[in-house]
């Protein structure tokens, strides 16, 4: 359960309108350049001339998406916005304004709520996102709904558009977040303190790849793009399905694995496929024609962000992984299903 305050220091004592007033007066909102922000029945935001408007929404529910026993208010505030920013990154968009909806138990401690809001708005400041409004309601458990609005003057990146022969690329490293979750819930012990902290941070504080997404879209080099929320295998499957039911051939030696994750892998406590299916990497996975390889390398070098070539798109459906022991076919079931996965 969310941290409960005393009778005089909880949300029930504060009240809904005092909480909204706290948000409206938050220092992070002082320089907001919305025409109309918090305080009216609707916000007013004027998009840049000639821009397409992008909108994405994510919900996080206590007990489904996060465990408050191992998640701080600050980490949750950061991640609630970061996952939306990652969606926008996959479209090549620039974030503009955000709307925050909260379902809160009345006993929620003011200190917990302030810590959550401070982290949420600190990340918003990093990317020049303005909190433009939202809603608060009484709830039996913590529910967070974030709607992010962005813009792009170029054609947005889509999941569709990949072609046979295209290369498959991924930013950063994969599998760190799922290992971090295992550390947090006690399923992965015995790591060095440095490795454990690295993996936990990768789970708690994802780094949305907005600059990479914008560069790829502006240069027109990515034929299809998606962010990795369900894992490389599932999200590549989504992209290939939207591109007409194509397939992929991946090479195990090309998969980008961090040093801490590789040490866990080499210990035999996880398999490589676990790192490809664990989810919540929030890296960008994209395809591009072979002719774009040099330009992708230049973009990666400019951003000082590793971008790895994983394999190629093929015409037949299915995803295979080639390694020292030969080639295996990977199951492409589409990630976590909120209405089926809990029953399996």
194 assigned to some structural domain: yes
**E strand segments, 139-246:** 143-152, 167-171, 224-227
Does one domain contain both 201 and 324?
yes
The domain boundary, picked from 120, 152, 184, lies at 152
Q: Strand, coil or helix: what is 291?
A: helix
Residue 58: count other Cβ atoms within 10 Å of its Cβ: 19
Does one domain contain both 124 and 71?
yes
Here the CATH number for the domain that contains residue 76 is 3.30.1330.10
Write the pLDDT tens digit of every residue in 144-181. Answer: 999 999 999 999 999 999 999 999 999 999 999 999 99
Half-sphere exposure at residue 127, Cβ-oriented, CA atoms within 13 angstroms: 30
The domain boundary, picked from 119, 152, 185, lies at 152
54 touches 156 (CB < 8 A): yes
Does one domain contain both 172 and 53?
no
Does one domain contain both 289 and 185?
yes
Distance CA 63, CA 69 (A): 10
5 assigned to some structural domain: no
| pLDDT(343) > 50 | no
Does one domain contain both 115 and 206?
no
Residue 1 banded pLDDT, cuts 50, 70, 90: low
321 assigned to some structural domain: yes
1 assigned to some structural domain: no
189 assigned to some structural domain: yes
Does one domain contain both 43 and 79?
yes
Point out which residues pair with 109 in neighbouring strands: 10
Does one domain contain both 144 and 175?
no
Distance CA 186, CA 93 (A): 37
Does one domain contain both 128 and 210?
no
Does one domain contain both 329 and 184?
yes
- Tokens representing 101 are 């909806």
Chain centroid to CA 246:
25
Residue 18 banded pLDDT, cuts 50, 70, 90: confident
147 touches 55 (CB < 8 A): yes
Boundaries of domain holding 323:
167-335
Does one domain contain both 146 and 20?
yes
223 assigned to some structural domain: yes
Number of domains in the chain: 2
Here the CATH number for the domain that contains residue 247 is 3.90.650.10
- Tokens representing 109 are 């401690």
The domain boundary, picked from 152, 179, 196, lies at 152
Nearest to 104 by CA among 34, 23, 181, 38: 23
What average pLDDT does the segment 41-62 reach? Answer: 93
**E strand segments, the chain:** 52-61, 94-104, 130-138, 143-152, 167-171, 224-227, 247-251, 284-288, 307-314, 318-323, 326-330
Residue 335 banded pLDDT, cuts 50, 70, 90: very low
Q: What's the predicted TM-score (pTM) here?
A: 0.90
344 assigned to some structural domain: no
Write the pLDDT tens digit of every residue in 86-135. Answer: 999 999 999 999 999 999 999 999 999 999 999 999 999 999 999 999 99
| pLDDT(333) > 80 | no
324 assigned to some structural domain: yes
Does one domain contain both 229 and 118?
no
Write the pLDDT tens digit of every residue in 216-236. Answer: 999 999 999 999 999 999 999
Tell the burial category of 25 from Cβ atoms under 10 Å away from its Cβ (0-12, 13-18, 19+). Answer: exposed
Does one domain contain both 72 and 210?
no
- Tokens representing 84 are 């939306």
């Amino acid at each position: 359960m969310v941290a409960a305050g005393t009778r005089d220091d909880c949300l029930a004592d504060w009240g809904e309108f005092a909480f909204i007033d706290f948000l409206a007066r938050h220092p992070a909102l002082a320089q907001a350049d919305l025409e109309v922000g918090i305080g009216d029945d609707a916000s007013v935001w004027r998009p840049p001339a000639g821009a397409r408007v992008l909108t994405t929404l994510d919900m996080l529910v206590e007990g489904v998406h996060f465990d408050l026993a191992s998640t701080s208010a600050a980490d949750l505030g950061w991640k609630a916005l970061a996952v939306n920013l990652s969606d926008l990154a996959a479209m090549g968009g620039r974030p503009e304004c955000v709307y925050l909806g909260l379902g809160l138990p009345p006993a929620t401690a003011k200190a917990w709520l302030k810590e959550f809001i401070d982290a949420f708005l600190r990340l918003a400041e990093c990317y020049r996102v303005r909190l433009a409004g939202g809603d608060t309601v009484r709830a039996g458990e913590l529910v967070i709904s974030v709607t992010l609005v962005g813009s792009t003057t170029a054609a947005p990146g889509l999941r569709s558009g990949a072609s046979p022969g295209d290369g498959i690329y991924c930013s950063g490293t994969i599998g760190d977040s799922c290992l971090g979750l295992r550390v947090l819930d006690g399923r992965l012990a015995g790591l060095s303190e440095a490795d454990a902290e690295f993996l936990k941070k990768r789970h708690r504080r994802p780094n949305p790849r907005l600059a990479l997404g914008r560069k790829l879209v502006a240069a027109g080099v990515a034929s299809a793009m998606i962010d990795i929320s369900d894992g490389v295998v599932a999200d590549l499957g989504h992209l290939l399905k939207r591109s007409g039911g194509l397939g992929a051939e991946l090479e195990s030696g090309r998969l980008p694995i961090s040093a801490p994750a590789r040490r866990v892998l080499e210990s035999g406590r996880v398999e490589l496929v676990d790192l490809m299916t664990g989810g919540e990497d929030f890296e960008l996975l994209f395809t591009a024609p072979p002719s774009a390889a040099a330009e992708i390398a230049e973009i990666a070098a400019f951003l000082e962000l590793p971008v790895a070539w994983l394999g190629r798109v093929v015409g037949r459906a299915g995803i295979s992984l080639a390694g020292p022991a030969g080639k295996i076919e990977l199951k492409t079931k589409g990630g976590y299903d909120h209405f089926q996965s809990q029953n399996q």
